[in-house]
Structures are given as C-alpha cells and as structure tokens.
C-alpha cells in the first residue's frame, strides 16, 4: 500500500511539472496563434466575398444545420456592407477532425467562394482541399456559383471530389450547402 | 561514449526506420514533399533529443512499475511544446503536417529509444543518441520525400525551394520542375506509394547491410587463413 502512494506521488509530480511547463509555453504562444488565426479568417472573408466596406455580424450564436444528413455547425453569419451578400463561418466534421471554413453566399443564394481556415485532414489527401497548390485552388474554384443543388459528381452534382479524399470533399460540400441554407432561412 | 559509432548506428546500421522499423505510419503519410519531410524529421529530432535527455536524467528516480506512464507524459509534454511553437512561428509547416505533429506522442521511435537506450545510459550519451537517431529518421524521410515527389509529380523541393525566390520557409515554394506533372506516377504521392517506396528502401538497406556483413566475414576469413599459413 505504501508503494502505491509513492508511485502516485512521483507520477503526480511529473505531471505537475509538465503541466507547468506547458502553461508557460502556452502563455508565450497563444496570442500569436490567435492573431494568426484571426488574420487567416479575415483574409478568408475577403477571399470568398470581397467587401471594402467591411462586414456586419448578424448572428454569432452557433447553431446546427443538417445538410444531406450531415450535421454542420454554423458559427457566425455576417453581412457584407457593400450589399453583395453574406459570409458564413461553418464547422463540419471531416475525415480526421473538424474542418472550419468560411463560405460566401450572394443574394441569389449562390456560393461565391469557400476558404478553409482550420482543419486536420490527412496531409497529401484531404489536406489538399485547403492547399494553395493547383489541386486545392481548382477544387475550391468548383464551389463558385453553386446553389442549393450542390453535390459531389458521384451523388449527381457537379463537384469533383479530391482523389483519395471523398469524405473530406463531401464534408466541404455539405458545409457549403448548410451555409446557403442558413443564409436563405435568415434572409 | 563514442559519437562516430553512435552516428553510424543511428543513420545506417541501426537506423530507426530502415532497420528498427519504428515510426513507419507518419513516414509513409507525410513524405509527399521535401518541405514536409525535413519539417517532420527535424521536429522528431528535437523532440527525441529533449525526451532522451529528460528520461535519462530522471532514470534513477522513476520507479520501474510506472516508467512507461512517465515516458508518455514527458513525450506528450515536449510534443505539445513543439506543436504550439510550430503553430505560432511556422504556421505553414503546422498546417501541412496537420495531425501528424500531435501524433508524434505515439511515435514508437521516441518511446522505443527511451525504453531501450536512455534508461540505461548517461545524459550525454542519450543526447547524442537523440541527435543521431533523429538524423537517421530525417535522412530516410528526406530520401522518401525526394523519391516520391520526383517520380510522383516530377518536381524537387516542393514547398521549400522556389526558383524565383530561393529558399521559402512558408511552404509556398513551387519546387523545381524536373519533368511535366502529367508524366509523373501519381500513385506514388498516395499512401500506397508510401508503402512501395518504403518497401524498396527496406530492400536496398537489407541488401547493403548483408553485402557489408559478407565483406567483413570474408576479410576475417582471409585474415585467419593468412595467420594460419604464417604459422
């Protein structure tokens, strides 16, 4: 019994030291990480629906929309102040973890572009959806002009899935659909 | 402690991937560009060295029954530190390696070295072991990346090198095009290509090790014969 106490104490001490060190490192890095993420989101807003007059947040209470049977979280909806449409931040479960993406929707409820701001998809496969290389740019370009009928080619739509990454492609497609539906319900 | 011996072991005769066959999952998954290969290799090198030093420093005070739990806590701590630092200072690499950085926690090279080496050796020897094993890992990753990138998409140094801008550390370099992309064997950039490339590297390594062992044996026999004839 005495031994158990000793083991627990040693393990506890080591965990406490590691936790303290991590706390310090987190303190040193979290501002920069948040800042980078905010920059990325701001750049994504501009990329999906440019508005030199800025954006006005309409709804920042997260809610869930079901798109093709997949649950998509709508994090935030903003209106472009130049009256061109809306920008929606969504979160959807991908092949590995959550994908956070920004979707632009115009007044005709068509997608004006998508931008993936955070994801944990497989490098070289699903991660291509967010890549700045040709394969990623071409994949995302397909979403421009899509409306409520958006779907993967194999499901009768017009979006070619990334090779080896059907689940990622489907999640991104469903998130776009959810954004369109959310804007239509709001407008 | 013998640095040259340990270096030779880490990179060649006891290479973590090609000989010990540890940590193959990440190896096959991320070696699609030179940028990824070098980034992952160096991340593992840093984490491995730090964990080796800490584990060997505390080897005398940790009870044997819970040593694995303690190793995992130490490893997870260092991996999280590297993960946070990458996110803050090299976001392109963090985005490109994705989940494989946190997954270094369960990379068997690190826990393998802690168990097989550090708990029996001094801090200095463990430090050298971390550096040399890490180098061995990095060398294999770089080799895999170069082979897969060249044969799969016809370029060299993707993400890292840009002809117009030189070295790019933000992962946006286009690489040097060796031949047009459509002539590449695209399969090599998929996971199956990782298996194939790694298999061929294993085979080459086994061949080379066997050859060198045979050579040594022959030399030893010759020496014996000479000694016998002299006597």
Query: For position B231, what pLDDT does the model report?
Result: 66
Any domain includes A37: no
Residue of B nearest to A26 (CA): B84
Q: b/e for B35-54, b at 16 or more Cβ within 10 A?
A: bbbbbbbbbbbbbbbbbbbb
Q: Report if residue A28 sits inside a domain.
A: no
Please state the domain count of chain A.
Answer: 1
Residues A10, B61: C-beta atoms closer than 8 Å: yes
ipTM of the complex model:
0.76
Is residue A42 one of the residues assigned to a domain? no
Which residue(s) pair with A66 in the sheet?
A71
- Please name the residues in contact with B137: beta carbons below 8 A apart, sequence gap of 6 or more: B15, B16, B17, B23, B41, B44, B45, B48, B109
Cα separation of B110 and B104, whole Å?
8
Residues whose CB is less than 8 angstroms from the CB of residue B70 and which lie 6 or more positions away in sequence, other chains included: A10, A11, A14, B58, B62
Q: Return the number of CB contacts < 8 Å for A and B.
A: 82
Q: Are A98 and A91 in contact (CB under 8 A)?
A: yes
The series of mean pLDDT values per 10 residues for chain A, 187 residues long, is 85 94 94 89 86 80 88 90 89 91 92 89 82 87 90 88 91 94 86
- Report chain B residues whose CB lies below 8 A from the CB of A127: 95-96, 98
Say what the pTM is.
0.77
> In chain A, what residues touch B87 (CB-CB under 8 Å)?
29, 33, 36
Work out the minimum CA distance from A119 to partner chain B, whole angstroms: 8
Task: Give domain status of residue A65, yes or no.
Answer: yes
Q: Which residues of A touch B (CB under 8 A)?
A: 6-7, 10-11, 14-15, 18, 21-22, 25-26, 28-30, 32-33, 36, 96-97, 119-125, 127, 130, 132, 163-164
Mean predicted lDDT score pLDDT of chain B: 87
CA A124 vs CA A144, B28, B169, B187, B215: distances in Å = 23, 11, 18, 12, 41
Q: Mutation test of the interface with chain B: which of A18, A93, A97, choosing the one with the most B Cβ atoms within 10 A?
A: A18
H-state helical runs in chain A: 2-48, 134-141, 166-186
Tell me whether residue A8 is in a domain: no
The distance of B5 to chain A (nearest Cα, Å) reads 33
Residue with token string 């709508």: A74
Among B111, B155, B137, B160, smallest CA distance to B26 is for B137
Picking from B71, B77, B78 by the largest number of A CB atoms within 10 A of its own CB, the best residue to mutate is: B77
Parts of chain B with a pLDDT under 70: 1, 170-172, 231
Q: Are B29 and A123 in contact (CB under 8 A)?
A: yes
User: Are A124 and B29 inside 8 Å of each other by CB?
Assistant: yes
Query: How far off is chain A from B146, nearest CA to CA, in Å?
Result: 15
| Sequence spans of domains, chain B | 3-220
Q: What percent of chain B has pLDDT over 70?
A: 97
Measured in whole angstroms, the distance separating CA B21 from the mean position of its chain's CA atoms is 10
Residue from the list B70, B84, B99 with its beta carbon closest to the beta carbon of A11: B70
Domain span holding position A70? 47-186
pLDDT of the residue at B1: 57
């Amino acid at each position: 019994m005495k031994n158990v106490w000793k083991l627990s104490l040693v393990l506890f001490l080591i965990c406490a030291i590691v936790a303290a060190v991590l706390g310090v490192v987190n303190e040193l890095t979290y501002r920069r990480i948040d800042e980078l993420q905010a920059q990325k989101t701001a750049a994504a807003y501009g990329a999906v629906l440019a508005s030199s007059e800025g954006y006005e947040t309409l709804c920042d209470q997260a809610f869930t929309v079901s798109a093709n049977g997949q649950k998509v979280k709508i994090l935030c909806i903003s209106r472009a102040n130049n009256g061109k449409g809306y920008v929606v931040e969504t979160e959807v479960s991908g092949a590995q973890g959550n994908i956070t993406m920004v979707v632009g929707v115009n007044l005709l409820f068509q997608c004006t572009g998508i931008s993936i701001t955070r994801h944990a998809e497989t490098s070289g496969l699903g991660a291509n959806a967010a890549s700045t290389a040709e394969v990623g740019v071409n994949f995302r370009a397909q979403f421009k002009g899509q409306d409520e009928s958006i779907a993967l080619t194999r499901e009768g739509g017009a979006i070619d899935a990334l090779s080896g990454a059907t689940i990622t492609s489907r999640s991104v497609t469903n998130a776009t659909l959810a954004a369109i539906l959310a804007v239509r319900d709001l407008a | 402690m013998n640095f040259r011996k340990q270096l030779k072991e880490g990179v060649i005769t006891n290479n973590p991937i090609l000989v010990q066959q540890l940590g193959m999952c990440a190896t096959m998954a991320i070696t699609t560009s030179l940028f990824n290969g070098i980034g992952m290799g160096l991340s593992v090198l840093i984490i491995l060295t730090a964990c080796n030093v800490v584990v060997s420093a505390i080897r005398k005070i940790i009870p044997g029954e819970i040593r694995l739990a303690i190793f995992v806590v130490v490893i997870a701590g260092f991996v999280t530190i590297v993960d946070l630092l990458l996110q803050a200072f090299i976001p392109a690499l963090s985005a490109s390696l994705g989940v494989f950085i946190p997954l270094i926690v369960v990379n068997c090279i690190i826990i393998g070295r802690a168990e097989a080496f550090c708990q029996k050796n001094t801090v200095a020897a463990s430090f050298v072991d971390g550096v040399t094993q890490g180098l061995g890992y990095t060398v294999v990753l770089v080799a895999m990346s170069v082979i897969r990138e060249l044969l799969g998409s016809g370029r060299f140094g993707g993400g890292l090198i840009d002809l117009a801008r030189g070295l790019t550390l933000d992962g946006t370099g286009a690489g040097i095009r060796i031949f047009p992309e459509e002539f590449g064997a695209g399969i090599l950039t998929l996971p199956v290509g990782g298996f194939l490339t790694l298999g061929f590297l294993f085979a080459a390594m086994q061949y080379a090790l066997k050859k060198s062992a045979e050579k040594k044996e022959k030399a030893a026999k010759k020496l014996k014969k000479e000694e016998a004839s002299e006597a």
